[in-house]
Amino acid sequence: MESIWVRGPTEFIMTKTNLFDLNYAALSAFLKAMGEPAFRAKQLFQWMHQRGVVDFNAMSDMSKRLRERLSETAELTLCTIDSEHIATDGTYKWVMRLSDGNCIESVYIPEDDRGTLCVSSQVGCVLNCSFCSTGQRGFSRNLTVAEIIGQVWIAVRRLSEANGEHDRRITNVVMMGMGEPLLNFEAVVSAMDIMMDDNAYGISKRRVTLSTSGVVPMMQRLREISDVALAVSLHAPNDALRNILVPLNRKYPLAELMQTCRDYFKVHGKRRVTFEYVMLDNVNDKPEHARQLVDLIGDMNCMVNLIPFNPFPETIYKRSKRDRIDAFWRTLEAAGITCVTRKTRGDDIDAACGQLVGDVQDRTTRSQSIEQRQIKLKEQLDAFR
What does 307 bind: ligand SAH, ligand SF4, none (CB cut-off 5 to 8 Å by kind)? ligand SAH
**According to CB under 6 A, which one of 278, 304, 332, 357 is a site residue for ligand SAH?**
278
Task: Classify residue 101 by its DSSP letter.
Answer: S
Catalytic residue among 103, 118, 132, 353: 353
Q: Does 132 help bind ligand SF4 (rule: CB under 6 A)?
A: yes
Measured CA to CA in angstroms, residue 28 lies from 39, 130, 352 at distances of 9, 43, 38
Number of residues near ligand SAH (by CB under 6 A) = 16
**According to CB under 6 A, which one of 110, 150, 354, 358 is a site residue for ligand SAH?**
354
**According to CB under 6 A, which one of 21, 180, 197, 276 is a site residue for ligand SF4?**
180
Helices (H), the chain: 24-33, 39-45, 64-73, 133-136, 145-163, 185-196, 216-225, 239-245, 254-267, 287-297, 322-334, 370-384
| Cβ nearer to ligand SAH, comparing 176 with 229 | 176
Rounded CA gap, 302 and 32, in Å? Answer: 43
CA 158 to chain centre: 19
Which of 268, 271, 276, 263 minimizes the C-alpha distance to 232? 276
Catalytic residue among 36, 79, 103, 105: 105
Rounded CA gap, 309 and 315, in Å? Answer: 11
Exposed/middle/buried for residue 184 (C-beta within 10 Å: 0-12, 13-18, 19+): buried
Rounded CA gap, 22 and 258, in Å? Answer: 34
Q: Does 127 help bind ligand SF4 (rule: CB under 6 A)?
A: yes
What does 195 bind: ligand SAH, ligand SF4, none (CB cut-off 5 to 8 Å by kind)? none
**According to CB under 6 A, which one of 23, 213, 320, 331 is a site residue for ligand SAH?**
213
**According to CB under 6 A, which one of 79, 132, 215, 294 is a site residue for ligand SAH?**
132
Q: 10 Å Cβ neighbour count for 135?
A: 22
Q: Does 213 help bind ligand SF4 (rule: CB under 6 A)?
A: yes
Task: Classify residue 170 by its DSSP letter.
Answer: -
Q: Is 105 a catalytic residue?
A: yes
**According to CB under 6 A, which one of 66, 129, 351, 352 is a site residue for ligand SF4?**
129
Angle at 335 (CA atoms; ends 331, 339), nearest 5 degrees: 65
CB of 24 vs ligand SF4, minimal distance in Å: 28
DSSP structure string for 340-361: EEPPP--GGGT-STT----B--
| Cβ nearer to ligand SF4, comparing 132 with 148 | 132
Q: 10 Å Cβ neighbour count for 206?
A: 13
Rounded CA gap, 193 and 276, in Å? Answer: 24
CB of 311 vs ligand SAH, minimal distance in Å: 7
Q: Is 103 a catalytic residue?
A: no
What does 237 bind: ligand SF4, ligand SAH, none (CB cut-off 5 to 8 Å by kind)? none
**According to CB under 6 A, which one of 23, 45, 74, 135 is a site residue for ligand SF4?**
135
| Cβ nearer to ligand SF4, comparing 48 with 127 | 127
CB of 109 vs ligand SAH, minimal distance in Å: 13
**According to CB under 6 A, which one of 28, 91, 199, 212 is a site residue for ligand SAH?**
212
Interface residues with ligand SF4 (CB under 6 A) are 125, 127-129, 132, 134-135, 179-180, 213, 233
* Residues contributing to the site for ligand SAH (CB under 6 A): 131-133, 176, 180, 211-213, 233, 276, 278, 307, 309-310, 353-354
Please list the active-site residues: 105, 353
